[in-house]
């Protein structure tokens, strides 16, 4: 091997999507432990290793039945969301709501899942059906399952315009991700400012970053685009 000992490169080409995904995941997992070029790591964060809340429309134009929450899988692996919970109840006795994803719900790498309050109103606004809905308005859309152990059975998963919390928990009720905005509060998570106008969404940018600082992780976005990543 005759290349220069002071400067060399190595390339590896693979034809398998599965092998590529595995190697990419290993690279991102190891990157944080390497510091050959500190200036490259300035404010660098690898993609989050878990599902993220990626976009929220909480104050749509007109009626609130067009609200939606979008999730994204920023990892190179599929993630089983069976039993995961999505809601705005911080404590079990809050007068708010928590819903569960049904068995068999899987989110693929770089895939989004859109949860709408009402599938019919969402389709009228955006031109396609969401993946799930909170209230049953369209038989073609699966419902999230109400969890009676959280909140009040009479409450619905609707978001406050002045502030709220959106919490994603796994099947064991461990917090996976949180979005807090306006007057909402959740532990040490820094909330986003409220959107500047009705019809704007809060969009995670970049979509794969999670600093637990919603003011840095999300931007006020004037054209909501559920199901599409920035």
Higher pLDDT, 39 or 219: 219
Q: Quick check: 61 and 198 in contact, CB under 8 A?
A: yes
pLDDT tens sequence across 149-183:
887 777 889 999 999 999 999 999 999 999 999 99
Structure confidence at residue 39 (pLDDT)? 46
Selection from 89, 84, 195 nearest residue 144 by Cα: 84
pTM across the whole model: 0.81
Residue 38 has pLDDT above 70, yes or no: no
pLDDT at 37 over 60: no
- Give the model confidence (pLDDT) of 213-222 as tens digits: 999 999 999 9
Structure tokens at 93: 């006795």
Question: b vs e for 185-206, b when ≥16 Cβ sit within 10 Å of the residue's Cβ?
Answer: ebeebebbebbeeeebbbbbbe
């Amino acid at each position: 091997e005759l290349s220069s000992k002071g400067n060399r490169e190595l390339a590896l080409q693979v034809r398998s999507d599965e092998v590529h995904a595995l190697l990419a995941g290993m690279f991102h997992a190891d990157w944080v432990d390497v510091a050959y070029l500190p200036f490259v790591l300035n404010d660098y964060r690898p993609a989050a290793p878990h599902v993220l809340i990626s976009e929220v429309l909480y104050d749509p134009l007109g009626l609130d039945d067009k609200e939606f929450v979008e999730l994204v899988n920023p990892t190179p692996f599929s993630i089983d969301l069976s039993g995961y919970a999505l809601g705005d109840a911080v404590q079990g006795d809050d007068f708010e709501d928590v819903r569960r994803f049904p068995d068999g719900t899987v989110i693929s790498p770089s895939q989004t899942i859109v949860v709408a309050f009402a599938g019919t109103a969402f389709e009228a606004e955006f031109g396609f059906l969401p993946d799930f809905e909170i209230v049953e308005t369209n038989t073609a859309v699966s419902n999230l399952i109400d969890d009676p152990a959280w909140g009040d059975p009479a409450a619905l998963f609707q978001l406050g315009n002045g502030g709220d919390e959106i919490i994603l928990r796994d099947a064991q009720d461990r917090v996976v991700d949180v979005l807090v905005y306006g007057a909402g509060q959740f532990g040490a998570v820094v909330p986003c400012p409220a959107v500047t106008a009705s019809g704007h969404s809060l969009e995670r940018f970049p979509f794969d970053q999670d600093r637990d600082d919603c003011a840095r992780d999300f931007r006020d976005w004037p054209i909501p685009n559920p199901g599409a990543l920035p």
